[in-house]
Amino acid sequence: MNQDFGSSATFLSLRSSAAEKSKSPSVAEQFSGFLGNLVIKNISQISVRYGEITAALNKRFRDTESKTANSLQVGSFGRRTGIDGISDLDMLYLMPKGKWADYESGGQSKLLKDVKDAILKRYPSTNVRVDRLVVTVTYTNFHVEVQPAFEQEDGSFKYPDTKNGGSWKITKPRAEMDEVSRVDTDKNGNLKCLCKMTRAWKNKHGVGMGGLLIDTLAYNFLTSTSAYDTASFSSYDTLSRNFFDYLANLPKQDRYDAPGSRQHVKVKTPFQRKAKKARKLCDEAIAAEGQKNSGKKWRKVYGNQFPVGTPSSKDAESKSMAANASWNDTEEWIEDRYPVDIRYDLKIDCTVTQNGFRAQALRAMLAKHFPLLAGKSLAFHVEHLGVPGDYELYWKVLNRGDEAKHRNQVRGQIVKDTGSHSISESTDFMGDHVVECYAVKDGVVVAKDRIHVPIQNNKA
C-alpha cells in the first residue's frame, strides 16, 4: 500500500513428527523464557513511589515518617499477577479509626481532597488529581490510584464514593489476594503464570480487559479442572490453547464474581471473538513444535516478549538476514516507544472505494470473503475509542510479502495522527498488509487495534 494523506490428546496430535523437528528450545524452555521476560523491570521504582505516597499520608494523618506502615499494595501488583509495562497501580491507605467521625457524614469529597493536599504538600511538583473514588498520582509511564479507606472488623475496607452527593462502599482486596495465592499454591504456581500470560495476550491483541477480570477468569478455569494441578512449563502450550478455548466458549455476560471477595467484576467489552482467534493461533504454534518457526508462531499469540530462539541463534539469523537482504527493514515497534498496558477498547475499520463502484467497509468485505484487488482507495478510520480524557493517536502501515520486499516498500513506521482519526492509503500491489492504530495516554499505550489488508492480483 502507498500512503496518500497529509482436549489435550487432541492438541498433542497436532504436533509435528520427530523427523520434521530441528534443534530448537523445548516447550518448557520457551515458556520459562517467556515468563522471565514478563517480570516487572521497574519494580524498585514503583516501590519507591508507593513509599513516597505512604510517607506523605502518614505525615498528614499520623505525624509519622514511615514509608511502609498503614498502606496496602492492591490490584494486579498486590496479587502478583502484573507484568512488565504495568501502568495502572493501586494502593489502599488505611485511615486512623479516630478520623472516622471527621468524614462519616458526607465527608467523602473532603477526604479525597485532604489526601490530595497531603501528597502535594510533600511533593508539590507531582501531578495529583481527585477522581470519583480515588486520588490519582501520575508519574512517567505509570500512575498510582490511592484509595483512602477505613478498615472494618471483618477485614474489609470502607472507602469513599463521591457520586450523587457521596456514599461509602466496601472493598475486600485482602480476600482476593489470599484466594488467588491459595489456589496458585494448590495449582503448582500455574494460576499466576496464566494470569501473566493472559495479560501479554491482551496487550498484543488490544483486548480491553481489566486485571481483576483476567485473574478471575484464569481462576475460574483452573478451579474447574484438575488437569494442571501438577503441570509445569512443558504443558503451557496446551494450557494456553485450552484456556483460550474456555474463554471463547463462555457465554457473554456483564460481570463475574471475583475470587475470595465475590464482589462484582465488570466486563467492559466482549473478549470471546479474540479468544477464539488466539485458540486457532495456539493450534498453529503447537503444530510447529520443534520447528525453527515455533517461537514466531507463539509470538502471534503473546507478542514480542515470547522468545523466538536462543539468543545466539537469533543474533546469527538476524545478522545473516541483514547481510543478504535487498530491502530495508523499516518496521518500528510501539513497544520500543511506550510501555503497553491495554485497558480500553479501540476499533478501526476502512472504507474501500473505486471510481464507478459503491463504497464498502473492509471488515464486511473480509467477512464475506470478497477479494480486495489493486487499484482501490482505502480510508482507515477510528470507529470506536473508549479512552477517556486526553490521549494521542498513532498509526502504523506495514506492507508484507515478497512484492513489498522486491519494491523495497515494507514501511512499518509509526506516525502520529494529524487530528482526523483517519489515514488514507491505496491498494497498489499484492500482499497481506497490516494497519495498526494505538492510543497513548500519559505515556502508555492503553488501546490498540489492527486490521489485515489482503490485496490480491486483479487477474486472480
- CATH number, domain at 76? 3.30.460.90
> What would the grid cell of residue 412 be?
512499518
Rounded percentage of the chain residues whose pLDDT exceeds 70: 90
Indicate if 267 and 149 belong to the same structural domain.
Answer: no
Q: What is the CA radius of gyration of the chain?
A: 25
The reply to whether 335 falls in a domain is yes
- Binned at pLDDT 50, 70 and 90, residue 357 comes out as low
Domain boundary among 255, 284, 314: 314
In sign, the C-alpha dihedral spanning 232, 238, 241, 246 is negative
pLDDT score recorded for residue 374: 72
Q: Cα 280 to the chain's mean position, in Å? A: 19
- Judge whether 87 and 444 are in contact, CB under 8 Å: yes
pLDDT score recorded for residue 1: 59
Give the domain range for residue 393. Answer: 327-456
pLDDT score recorded for residue 325: 60
Phi, psi of 300 (to 5 degrees): -65, -25
The reply to whether 166 falls in a domain is yes
pLDDT in tens, 287-315: 999 999 999 999 999 999 999 975 444 44
Indicate if 247 and 364 belong to the same structural domain.
Answer: no
Alpha helices in 5-129 (DSSP H): 8-12, 27-37, 43-62, 75-79, 100-103, 108-122
pTM of the entire predicted model: 0.87
Where b means 16+ CB within 10 Å and e means fewer, 59-80 reads ebbeeeeebeebbbbbbbbbbe
Q: Which of 189-198, 205-214, 316-325, 433-442 has the lowest mean pLDDT?
A: 316-325
pLDDT score recorded for residue 244: 98
pLDDT score recorded for residue 310: 53
pLDDT score recorded for residue 248: 98
Indicate if 184 and 144 belong to the same structural domain.
Answer: no
> What would the grid cell of residue 453 be?
489488508
pLDDT in tens, 212-251: 999 999 999 999 999 999 999 999 999 999 999 999 999 9
Does residue 17 have a pLDDT over 50?
A: no
> What would the grid cell of residue 423 be?
489515514
Distances (CA, A) of 312 to 41, 304, 315, 324: 23, 17, 5, 19
In sign, the C-alpha dihedral spanning 53, 54, 60, 63 is negative
CATH number at residue 361: 2.60.40.10
The reply to whether 337 falls in a domain is yes
- The residue among 70 and 433 whose pLDDT is bigger is 70
Indicate if 294 and 349 belong to the same structural domain.
Answer: no
- Binned at pLDDT 50, 70 and 90, residue 356 comes out as low
pLDDT score recorded for residue 65: 92
- Judge whether 377 and 409 are in contact, CB under 8 Å: no
Indicate if 180 and 310 belong to the same structural domain.
Answer: yes
